[in-house]
Amino acid sequence: MPDRDLLYRFAVVTLFPEMFAAIQQWGITGRAFQNGTCQLTLHDPREEATDRHGTVDDRPYGGGPGMVMTAPILSAALAKAKAAVDSNMPVIAVTPQGQKLDAKLAQKLAEKPGLIVVAGRYEGMDERFIEQEVDLEVSIGDFVVSGGELPAMLLMDAVMRWLPGVLGHPESAVEDSFTEGLLDCPHYTRPEAYQGQAVPEVLLSGDHGAIAQWRRAQALRRTLDRRPDLLSWESISPEDRLLLEKWDLLPADRGRQS
């Protein structure tokens, strides 16, 4: 018996269904599948092949290296995926050409009743399948990996964190990095002294107001240093500038002018 009502349905089209054990069997996502919060069905295009070799791909028109997954085979596998999740869910193909995945997209997809994800192998999928059957192409970033399965799992994990009850604390998803546009602050646990290095004093003070201030100042400084694409010195509010000053995190060249 499931521990709770089904919240979200995934259906995935993949030549390597066994890879999805990585999210189905382990950790936070594993628990969500095991307790019935989420459901996952896997649909192998190989089963839709019509020849005795189980062919799912063919040579690209125009020539060139590699093979292309055929539209009829992908379409047949997608039909099975759609039947498994019944209602009208968005069909997403994970491809290197897609919209880049971020927290906002994951949160938006979590508002749907579920998701159908098509993961490719080889050089890609016949463009006519994408045009006719895919609502959105999603990429995980500007680097190449060997197939769509890891990107599909990454997308699913990022979506699942936004579903009520998947994370232990309801606030966790909102507090997570990137949601507020800032990197996380540093964390410390026992021992209090480690190889001559102490834990920042404020964290031992019990002053929760001061701790919250210090954490925000640290998050601001780390984001400014490491991710100028997320936060620029020019856009820091006067309040945050004061916070950085108070915790001695303003770099020398960003102190008060003249």
- Contact segment (CB under 6 A) with ligand 9D3 among 79-87, 104-112, 137-145, 210-218 equals 137-145
Assess whether 123 carries a catalytic annotation.
yes
**Beta partners for 39?**
9
Residues 96-135 as x/- pattern, contact with ligand 9D3 by CB under 6 A: x-----------------------x--xx-----------
**Distance separating alpha carbons of residues 118 and 116, to the nearest angstrom:** 7
* Footprint on residues 49-68 left by ligand 9D3 (CB under 6 A): none
Which of 17, 45, 114, 151 touches ligand 9D3 by CB under 6 A? 151
Residue 131 beta carbon to ligand 9D3: minimum distance, rounded to whole angstroms: 17
Residue 170 is a binding residue for ligand 9D3 (CB under 6 A): no
- Residue nearer to ligand 9D3 on the CB measure, 15 or 250: 15
Amino acid code (one letter) for 116: I
Residue 45 binding ligand 9D3, by CB under 6 A: no
157 is catalytic: no
Does 148 bind ligand 9D3 (CB under 6 A)? Our answer is yes
Question: Is 101 or 217 the residue whose CB approaches ligand 9D3 more closely?
Answer: 101
136 binds ligand 9D3 (CB under 6 A): no
Which pairing describes strands 193-194 and 197-198: parallel, antiparallel, or unpaired? antiparallel
# of chain residues touching ligand 9D3 (CB under 6 A): 15
Q: Which CB, 139 or 177, lies closer to ligand 9D3?
A: 139
Instruction: Please give the Cα distance from 150 to 125 (Å, whole number).
Output: 17
CB of 218 vs ligand 9D3, minimal distance in Å: 31
Is residue 186 part of the annotated active site? The answer reads no
Question: Which phi-psi region, left, alpha or beta, contains residue 54 (left: φ > 0; alpha: ψ -120 to 50)?
Answer: left
Interface with ligand 9D3 (CB under 6 A), residue from 141, 181, 228, 251: 141
Phi, psi dihedral angles at 125 (to 5 degrees): -110, 150
Axis crossing angle, helix 208-226 with helix 238-246, rounded to the nearest 10: 110
Checking 62-67 for CB contacts under 8 A at 24+ apart, the result is 64/123, 65/123, 66/122, 66/123, 67/122, 67/123
Task: For the sheet with 91-100, list strands across it.
Answer: 38-43, 8-13, 114-119, 91-100, 136-139
The DSSP symbol for 48 reads G
Q: Is 176 a catalytic residue?
A: yes
Q: Which one of the spans 22-30, 146-154, 159-167, 175-183 is the region binding ligand 9D3 (CB under 6 A)? A: 146-154
- HEC states along 11-22? EEECCCHHHHHH
10 Å CB burial of residue 12 (0-12, 13-18, 19+) is buried
Binding site for ligand 9D3 (CB under 6 A): 94-96, 120, 123-124, 139-141, 143-145, 147-148, 151
**Active site residues per annotation:** 96, 123, 161, 176
